[in-house]
Structures are given as C-alpha cells and as structure tokens.
Amino acid sequence: MPAPTAENLAEVLKPLLDAPRRGGVFCDIDGTLAPIVERADDAKVPEATARLLASLARRYGCVACISGRSVAEARRLVGVGGIAYAGMHGIEMLWPGATKPEMSQEVLGWADRVRGFVRANDTRELRTLRVRIEDKGPIWAYHWRGAPDENAAQARVRELAEAAEQDGFHVHWGRKVLEVRPPLPIDKGQAVRKLADHASVRSVLFGGDDVTDLDAFAALDDLVADGRLDTAVRVGLRSDEGPAEIVDQADLVVDGVDGFRTVLRTLAEG
C-alpha cells in the first residue's frame, strides 16, 4: 500500500477534522511517536512531534499516549502536559491535570509474585547474553535488542516464557521484548475504552506499530459496533519488524514515525 496523499489523509481523517471537540487522538509511543532504538532508555519523542501533540490537546476532545512503559516513563519520554497517559497497557491512567496516576489494585497485588519469578530466574547466563530486565512494577520485561547474539538471547527468553506460563503468569511478546504479566486481562484495548468513555468522544483515531496495538484496534471495532463511537480510524505504521496484521487491519497505513507525524500535522492544521 503506497503512502497516503494529502487528499487521502483528509478523507480518512474527515470525521475528526469536522468535529474535533468530539474527537480523540490516541497513540502508542515507541515505534509510533519515538523511533525504535537499541536501548529503550535512549528513546526520544522528537520535539516537532511533541509540539504537535500539545497543539492537538488544545483542539481535540482527548489526546492520549498509551504505552507499555510506566506512566512516569511515558510522561517523561513525551514531555507534553494537558494530555492523558495510559501506562503499562492501561494498568495506570494519568488524566490531564492529575498529579498521580490511578492504578488497578488487583493488578498491583500481583507485583511481588511477578518480581519473585524474575529475580529467581535472573542468572549469570542472562547477563552473559546481555538480556536486559525492566522493572515496571506489576509487569517485568526482558529485552534482547542489540544483544551480541540476538538469536541465542531470544531462545533463552523463550525458555523463560514457558517457565512463567507454567508458574501461572501471562506472557506477551513484542518487538524483541517479552513481558511477564499477572494472569489478568491487561491490554491497550482496555485503555482505549477507558479514555473514550472518560472523554465522551464520538470519533477516535489510534496509531500503533506492534502486536500490543492490535488490541487497541479491536477495541475500536467493538466500540463502534456497540454504538459508543460513531467512527474509528486505525492507523498502522509499516515497519520491517512489525506484525503484518498492523498493516492488514489498518484503515490508514503510513511509513514509520515520520509518516505518523504527517497524520498528526494534518489533524493539527485542520
């Protein structure tokens, strides 16, 4: 599918452009707003993108970033006030103007058990393979992007995934990352539903590039089918590492973070 023209963009985005105060602009961060980098800590949302988000927040009913990162990390990475942040795929919700995020107590109750599993399996072999472990509270993640032998690192992480499932945890794969999660419903679709209901918007756009973003696509479909939304626009970012379903299920396909920034610019300029 070729990159959209200005006319194509205007046509697909028309429901939001025509009634911005009734529109929601939701998006993933890593791989959508910020380019994927070898180390997650080095990721950065370009200043031009951050300015567009701030502009959108003044025009649209709700602007939100939905991330697998914690709310604190998502807020630091994006650096824009006046918008909502959903951290850890919706476990944490930070509403515009709030100083502290809301968190599911049921999920929080699993934090010690997930931590115990990860620490019990934190071996010298993992460190030798350069698998990095990320503590996100109730969720822990294994990253192997940039490891000297990514195939060997991934093979070891697959063994950990099997062990985690045997111990009763849920696991979720992303782009060179595995998350160990509590055995509870956790996905970006829940964050989309919370945001749409909270803001009482009728049209929502969501942009994403990875497996976890497919849950947000599905939630938009459900919200439209239930009559809670009039229109949904699913924007898929095409990449070498992303799942084919992101492109297959999208209403609009763009190339990488630059392509998505063009979408945001079109929304901002009206």
Residues 71, 101: Cα–Cα separation, whole Å: 7
Length of the chain: 270
DSSP 99: S
Two tokens at 19? 């009634």
DSSP characters for 116-153?
HHHHHT--HHHHHHT-EEEE-SS-EEEE-TT-TTHHHH
Asked if 69 and 94 touch (Cβ cutoff 8 Å), the reply is no
pLDDT of the chain, 270 residues: tens digit per residue? 666 776 788 899 999 999 999 999 999 999 999 998 888 778 899 999 999 999 999 999 999 999 999 999 999 999 999 999 999 988 899 999 898 999 888 888 899 999 999 999 999 999 999 999 999 889 999 999 999 999 999 999 999 999 999 999 999 998 899 999 999 988 999 999 999 999 999 999 999 999 999 999 999 999 999 999 999 999 999 988 889 999 999 999 999 999 999 999 999 998
Note if the pTM is more than 0.75.
yes
How much is the CA Rg of the chain, to the nearest whole Å?
18
Q: How far does Cα 200 stand from its chain's mean position?
A: 21
Domain at 111-181: CATH architecture: 2-Layer Sandwich (3.30)
Burial class (CB in 10 A: 0-12, 13-18, 19+), 55: middle
Position 1 scores a pLDDT of 60
Query: Which sequence spans correspond to the domains of the chain?
Result: 6-103+186-269, 111-181
Position 93 scores a pLDDT of 95
| CATH fourth-level superfamily of 6-103+186-269 | HAD superfamily/HAD-like (3.40.50.1000)
The residues annotated with a catalytic role in the active site are 28
